[in-house]
Amino acid sequence: MNSEAMRLTLRMTKALADIQRVRILMMMGAGELCVCQVIEVLTLAPSTVSKHLSILTAAGLLDSRKAGRWMYYRLPEGSAGEWVRPVLKWLGEMLKNEPVVVQDAKKMKMVVACDPQSLCRRQRRGE
């Protein structure tokens, strides 16, 4: 840890200090998700969700992968997530019975069931 430590730490804690971003992290426990899937669960504007995802990524709390037009986000694996995992574990234990989180998980199941393509099409038509 060098003099960047504080900057990095605050980037993380600030990233965690928002309910939508916490909800996203909890959702990601189930595996990687594309942006439109996160939009569907949070029911926020695409631009808003994209911003949240970029903040989480900049904080090292998410990794991303581009596949064609789709962007997939997931929890960081391996050594990349060493500093992150304890935080996520702590969050998970704090929130495992939180209604919002449980509800999001349920909605996630529905969303993962239909493929992203048809999901985005529905979104374009306005739900």
Contact partner at residue 6 from DNA, its own copies, none, CB < 5 to 8 Å by partner kind? its own copies
Binding mask 33-52 for its own copies (x = CB under 8 A): --------------------
**What is the phi/psi pair of residue 69, to 5°?**
-85, -10
Pick from 9, 13, 18, 96 the residue near DNA by CB under 7 A.
18
Pick from 31, 46, 86, 92 the residue near DNA by CB under 7 A.
46
CA atoms within 13 A on the CB side of 122: 13
Pick from 26, 27, 34, 56 the residue near DNA by CB under 7 A.
34
Burial 109-124 (b: 16+ CB within 10 A, else e): eebeeeebeebbeeee
